[in-house]
Structure 1
Amino acid sequence: MPPLIFLAVVGAIGYAGYKKLTKEAERIVARSRREEKEARSGSQGTLVQDPKTGVYTIAKD
């Protein structure tokens, strides 16, 4: 019985690590695509609108 519990714990940790890794990879790919798009257009940043004030500012990572 203890080996099954150990395998379940290791499996859960492995699954959580996999999910975190894929989320981080998606974030990096999105950032890379945004930077590539900015380089092609010659812009110096992406503007985002503040929902409260309506003022546009450069996006921060």
Structure 2
Amino acid sequence: MVALEHSSITSIWHMLTDRKPYHDLGGAYFTQRDPERATRGAITQLNQLGYTVTLDPRESAA
């Protein structure tokens, strides 16, 4: 609860000091920001569920 309140207060402070409206980054923000980390996280979760993961990169359509 305190962490949520802290996040809200921090967001409000930035909006007021920068005089900018709230801008939602979107649900895929962290995936787009660091796709390798998202990939590692997905692999880790699958490994914890008992799966063995092999990645085969797709060929580019260019």
Q: Normalised by the shorter chain, which TM-score bucket? A: 0.3 to 0.5
Bigger proportion of residues as strand: 1
Pick the structure with greater CA Rg. Answer: 1
Bigger proportion of residues as helix: 1
Between 1 and 2, higher relative CO (CA 8 Å, sep ≥ 6) is seen in 1
